[in-house]
Amino acid sequence: MIDKISKTDEEWRALLEPDPYLVLRGAGTERAFNGPYWDSKDEGTYVCGACRLPLYSSSAKYDSGSGWPSYWEAVEESHVERKVDRSHGMVRTEALCARCDSHLGHIFPDGPPPTGERHCINGHALIFVPEGEDLPSLVA
């Protein structure tokens, strides 16, 4: 079980730059092919842009053609929570950071083996840590 962290909106605004704040705390979506990491092929780990929880490995990243970073699985299944999202006249599965409840993106059932899932994640929801570098400390 992951210990949750909770901050006021004011505290999140002070910690996050405007674009990450809009995505992570406002459930926004960046424009396709415009956010960070959508075409990155560097090896490493993608952590939550709000609390620094490790979320995705570059080894699970693939080019979905969607214009957003896409992964077929999370680093740990327990690090990404799923929630039904009925916004915009659709029913989708929202992906949330399990530690800070930040919006990451959505999960679709059209990904590659072995999971068949596409975790379509906003680049502004992530921070990339190159392989060989220490993961950043979790934000408390």
Task: List residues with catalytic annotation.
Answer: 120
What is the rounded CA–CA span in Å between residue 137 and residue 65? 32
CA atoms within 13 A on the CB side of 41: 2
Measured CA distances, 115 to 47, 70, 71 (Å): 21, 13, 10
3-state helix, strand, coil in the chain (%, to 5): 20, 30, 55
- Four-residue CA torsion sign, 73, 77, 80, 81: positive
CB of 55 within 8 A of CB of 79? Answer: yes
Residue 93: closest CA among 55, 119, 65? 119
Residue type present at position 25: R
